[in-house]
Chains A and B, each alone.
Chain A
């Protein structure tokens, strides 16, 4: 008898038309077309698929957390013999956070920014066991401290009065998990809980989920686009595509004996196809960083200076036509180095030497939506750097914009669109076109594919590879994702707390890692092979 048993789940949204501020429903769009799934007590079920596969929507429907206009139907949607779909709103509220809890992808935005950690964690107690906890502050605090500690937060007392923005990403996600677990739910739904975290923290969160499952027999529905994570955590796996189940089976079935083409494709994307392959023979580097140290100075109120060393004594060279990977977790100094190379940040010590005829490196950022002006059309965005540079006629600029669009496999029509009208992959193509339009010798790619799902990731990586081959550009590829690094980089630099701990060819670093931190990174990232 499964704890959660869903048969033929269908979800559709209303398609609305905006006529002068008044919305009229013009139809329905079905996004989930009849999914069956069940979770046994104490079992972990993985739900895998790309964005748009319906995995998040399906999981949100279990707690009825979808927008009001969503229509959910199912032949059966039972949780411990309760038919969920016939519940009243009050009955839903009694279930949520008590018997079924949820952890979301982005812990920063998923926590209330203006309430203390204590308030947010204890809320679950007050909502579901009000009589017991309402007038007993000590008991409440005792529970809060216990649940925070259990979630691996070493100094819970310290955290009580803090706010989400004062914690690191990993700590926030532990707080989220503590919130979800405080009433010991029977079912925990985790929607991409590690996607926003770096590799080492990802691993810790997975261990934590396993711990709850083993200790309290908590059933977990784990949603992810990352097959390597699912492989390590889940007992059974469901592969979703376009709102339908493509393949289902035990972990071993899916990973060692996948039947469907799509599953194989996802596997290939997760493990990666090699795109690197330039051996560095050129003697003269395009760019050299010599003994660079970068400090941030913060002034406190009394005029004292606090010095924060982000990068310590870092030296490396970037050669023509190579892809140099810069790996490390958040806070390791990756972004600081990128900024210094583009001249956005001065070096405190050391030298930055560019070979003659080499222009300032251009940058492509992780989040193209945030880094492209939403009020301007694509054509304008691409044209702007040329205008600033000067020396082009209007016609020449137009021609260059069209060429750049073609170069990144977009159409001329895209020039007339706004950023919001493009998909994530298309936006990243625009960001690449904007970086390439001035024909730079060096492009810095700062997590260029981290926000994209695996198939789009693959397409963008192949595009970058082709552009590099055709134009002889050098890339500095910044990423925390070892799979991606292995696929595209010729050489790799591993950064740890602002220092280079390992540097070498990709093959060397991946096959014979020397530094313990590199080994740790690899172990966390490369589980599926």
Chain B
């Protein structure tokens, strides 16, 4: 418990530092909200007046404090391109991104564990080599290409879904879920491949340990050996890896969202960057940083639960 509280303390400090650094970075970039609002050709005096009004002339640290105070209350400012509250914009995009992430994580877990263990009975045997080749292919295929392939086969040839026909979850939850399946596959495949390889190597390494020989000597079958002894030891590095992947997909799969025309965070990020919509970019950067830090904290806590040696 103490450990968990300590971890959460570290997490909060990390988030404050990250948000300050990103705030600082945006305040250093030339061109601010006043210029963005009034346009490049606006009257210098008008821009200065707006600056004064928006409080942009105050020291960065005061502006940051102001921003942090509102952010804690859920107010991340207003988007300069849509003239809508940032929180509302992000909240609208989040369901698609999070659902896509959960979907992909489920696929990654369901596929990579069995596949990773499949070849380990005989390392470098035929099955192991087949799994290795398969995972190499999975790692090598770029996501956008996979997305195009999936769209072509299932959307155009088989006509199983409407290409680019995103369904709003509030209107049709079932349609929304089935639409996101293929994008989730596109996100998951390269990560599955990496994970499969990772699990395979971890199992092979663990199987060479002395305690496995002891377990065999007790009369364990290969299956029991794997489930009762090896798997729990394999889980420790794997949990960390899974958490890093989860953070990665939660941050928004920019390419896949683009290919499948999903209105998620990744797409919002791209349009906001190209329109210099800094309040939105700032909010998304903090969202991404938070997911990474939170996921890593979760991994640490899980690791500590799994491994008695670090307790």
> Residues of A with Cβ closer than 8 Å to B?
22-23, 63, 65, 68, 89-90, 93-98, 101-102, 104, 106, 109-116, 123-124, 127-128, 163, 165-166, 176, 179-180, 301
Contact = CB atoms under 8 A, between A and B. Distances in A.
Given A68-B122, A112-B233, A163-B308, A179 B218 contact: yes
6 contacts: A22-B129, A63-B217, A90-B221, A104-B213, A113-B211, A127-B219
A112 B221 contact: no
Given A22-B129, A109-B209, A301-B2, A127 B309 contact: no
Contacts of B48: none
Nearest to A108: B210
Contacts of B309: 113-114, 163, 165
B215 interface: yes
Nearest to A64: B216
Contacts of A166: 308
B232 interface: yes
Nearest to B222: A89
Contact of A115 (B122, B218, B232): B232
Mostly, the B contact residues are helix
Given A89-B221, A111-B214, A179-B218, 17 more contacts: A90-B221, A93-B219, A93-B221, A96-B219, A97-B217, A102-B214, A102-B217, A109-B209, A109-B211, A110-B214, A113-B233, A113-B309, A115-B229, A123-B218, A124-B218, A127-B224, A128-B219
Nearest to A161: B308
Contacts of B229: 112, 115
B36 interface: no
Contact of B307 (A97, A109, A114, A124): A114
A114 B129 contact: no
Interface string B198-218: 000000000001110111111
B124 interface: yes
A94 B219 CA distance: 6
Nearest to B129: A22
Nearest to B236: A114
Nearest to A124: B218
Contacts of B213: 65, 104, 110
A406 to B, nearest CB: 37
B63 interface: no
A250 B257 CA distance: 79
B214 to A, nearest CB: 5
Nearest to B307: A114
Interface in B287-307: 306-307
B240 interface: no
Given A106-B210, A165-B309, A101 B233 contact: no
B220 interface: yes
Given A112-B229, A114-B233, A114-B308, A93 B211 contact: no
A165 B311 CA distance: 11
Contacts of B216: 63, 65, 96
Nearest to A16: B124
Given A93-B219, A97-B219, A101-B217, A114 B306 contact: yes
B210 A110 contact: yes
A163 B211 CA distance: 13
Contacts of A22: 124, 129
Nearest to A162: B308
A431 to B, nearest CB: 25
A77 B275 CA distance: 80
Interface string B255-292: 00000000000000000000000000000000000000
A165 B228 CA distance: 19
A460 B300 CA distance: 45
A128 B129 CA distance: 35
A15 B224 CA distance: 30
A298 to B, nearest CB: 16
A418 B306 CA distance: 36
B304 to A, nearest CB: 12
B88 to A, nearest CB: 43
Contacts of A112: 211, 214-215, 229, 233
Counting from the closest, the 4 A-B pairs by CB-CB distance are A97-B218, A97-B219, A109-B210, A96-B219
Nearest to B213: A65
A110 B214 CA distance: 6
A101 B218 CA distance: 7
A329 B307 CA distance: 29
Nearest to B211: A112
Interface in B80-109: none
Given A163-B308, A163-B309, A165-B309, A114 B232 contact: yes
Nearest to A114: B232
A411 to B, nearest CB: 32
Contacts of A101: 217-218
Interface string B105-123: 0000000000000000010
